[in-house]
Amino acid sequence: MRKNSLFFLGAAAGTCLTLLVTGPQGAQLIAAAKAAASTNTYSQLNLFGDVFERVRADYVEKPDDTRLVEGAINGMVTALDPHSRYMNEKAWRDMQETTHGEFGGLGIEVMMEKGLIKVVAPMDDTPAAKAGIMSGDLITHINNEAVQGLTLEQAVNKMKGPINTKTRLKIMRKGTESPIDISIVREVIRVRPVSYHMDGGDIGYIRITSFNEQTTDGLRKAIGDISKQIPPDKLAGYVVDLRNNPGGLLDQAVSVSGAFMARGEVVSTRGRTPEETQRFTARTGDLTKGKPLVVLINGGSASASEIVAGALHDHKRATLIGTRSFGKGSVQTIIPLGAGNGALALTTARYFTPSGRSIQAMGIRPDIEVLQDVPDELKARSETKGEASMRGHLSAEGAEQTGSQSYVPPAEKDDKALGAAYKLLRGVTVNADVPSTSKTAVPN
């Protein structure tokens, strides 16, 4: 902690270096500033210790020390940004189960917003999706207990449980005056991140719902099966559907991108110092052998989805169709804290596309914007506000964008974005804004 404080103030002093060192006492002034910073930091830590001891000694009931410490850590970390968080040992184990791709629960991706649990997206073919849970819903109560005051992990744990047992949710939905009560029966959630089928005997459709440990293997199988069933001379191309995909593991985003690229940078991450910059490149080789590619995105496409869309777009490998993506362009590093202590998910960097564009609070803009026809009863909740609307989010390196439409029709025949993708791959002009293949590609 002392090292970080000194670094921060040293950098601040450096901006005024010419003023501080012009006089004979410049060096002494810098040293004094550093010493003052260190003293102030330890003074604040002493204050925390004083409050901790006073609570232990004088609170109306004897508090649990573990809960006090966890609460203090949660308060510190959640004050940083919406995505940094502390996970105790149980929450850490639950997260590992989720990224592995199998767990018991309802099947919804959630995040914390203003003390409530916000649904990012329901997973396909899960109890939550079947019950009508939608992106943007705010969960206010779980089994009649208010979520206000709970951490994200605590709320998620309450929604998990033995299969064939019920979870009662009370949700607030934009455009609906009264809260909605929904009862959902828990099931074993086996996240199958990739599904696919053929359309018209000439196009392969691949839907990626999340980026967990099984995603790249599922994608390879999908491409392999499609290429076997459609002869190369008849295969017009592929549609990769990333709509309402909330993201997941960075390494999976890189390998998925690499499955459609011969070579080149996929994404870079930049932290506080230039030395912390990392670049991730495609290694798999283009499994589709250069076939045309369309990627579908919308307001619910976040994080890893935006990395894939941004990489394929910047390399002129794919045309993007849909609406602007969510804009979650920050990296959370998982830091295990030792046996029994859980882990810290800490925002450590920002994502940048191969051309150097930041995703944070701006999102990825499609080449062809296609708005869906939304039923009247759903119009009030058909948009996702996006990262820029979240309290405490990291600022954008440009004009912030506040989200876009996230509705996807349940029937393919009503899906205007998917229809546009099929038309484009079959040579039908969809929009004059389709990027020309003569544009200069990103250097490899």
Catalytic residue list = 303, 314, 328
Please tell me the distance from the alpha carbon of residue 94 to that of residue 98, in angstroms, as a whole number.
Answer: 6
Other residues' Cβ atoms within 10 Å of the Cβ of residue 399: 8
Contacts of 105 (CB under 8 A, 6+ apart): 156, 159, 160, 161, 186, 187, 189
| C-beta of residue 404 within 8 angstroms of C-beta of residue 372 | no
| Token code pair at residue 371 | 């708005």
Q: Which amino acid makes up residue 161?
A: G
| C-beta of residue 285 within 8 angstroms of C-beta of residue 311 | no
Q: Which amino acid makes up residue 366?
A: P
Please tell me the distance from the alpha carbon of residue 235 to that of residue 226, in angstroms, as a whole number.
Answer: 9
Other residues' Cβ atoms within 10 Å of the Cβ of residue 338: 7
Contacts of 226 (CB under 8 A, 6+ apart): 196, 198, 204, 206, 235, 238
